[in-house]
Amino acid sequence: MEGGNAFYTVRWEPLPNLAQDLIVPPLAVLMPLALASKLFLVMVFGLIAGGAIWLNRVATGAWRVWPLLAFLLLYNRIFLWGFVNYLFGIGVALGGIALWLSLEPRRSWVRVLALVGCGAPLLFQPHCRSWVLRAGYPGG
């Protein structure tokens, strides 16, 4: 065996913390890699800010100025440390909670189908902690 082949094996299995690894390579086929990575970061910021705004709209029933404060918190220590998959998951979790609340008047099986069928696998890929955040939401 050559190199590290004696110590490493390839095991294909779904792992958390792979959002960037699943989104950026297909984008890199269409554009330069640096631009694809920057687009992913813009997507992270858009998910967090949009999720906060949408969640506030659904929870209060009106458009307010307060969720715009989320823009002040986008550039934070977690982002500087490079945990962009976690931040992507937080944005998806905020959107999932807002979706759950917006589907409140509908039948319960529609909500369960929308969020368990789509939301849980979608949240598992960015980061396990965002999946736990969504699972810990009351009624989820």
Rounded CA separation 48/75 (Å): 11
- Cβ atoms of 134 and 96 closer than 8 Å: yes
CA distance 128 to 115: 16
The string of DSSP letters for 20-33 reads HHHHHHHHHHHS-H
- Digit-by-digit pLDDT tens for the chain (140 residues) are 456 666 777 777 666 677 888 889 999 999 999 999 999 999 999 999 999 999 999 989 888 888 888 888 888 888 888 888 888 888 888 888 888 888 777 667 766 666 666 655 666 656 555 555 555 555 54
Q: Report the pLDDT value the prediction gives residue 117, as an integer from 0 to 100.
A: 60
Q: What is the pTM (predicted TM-score) of this model?
A: 0.72
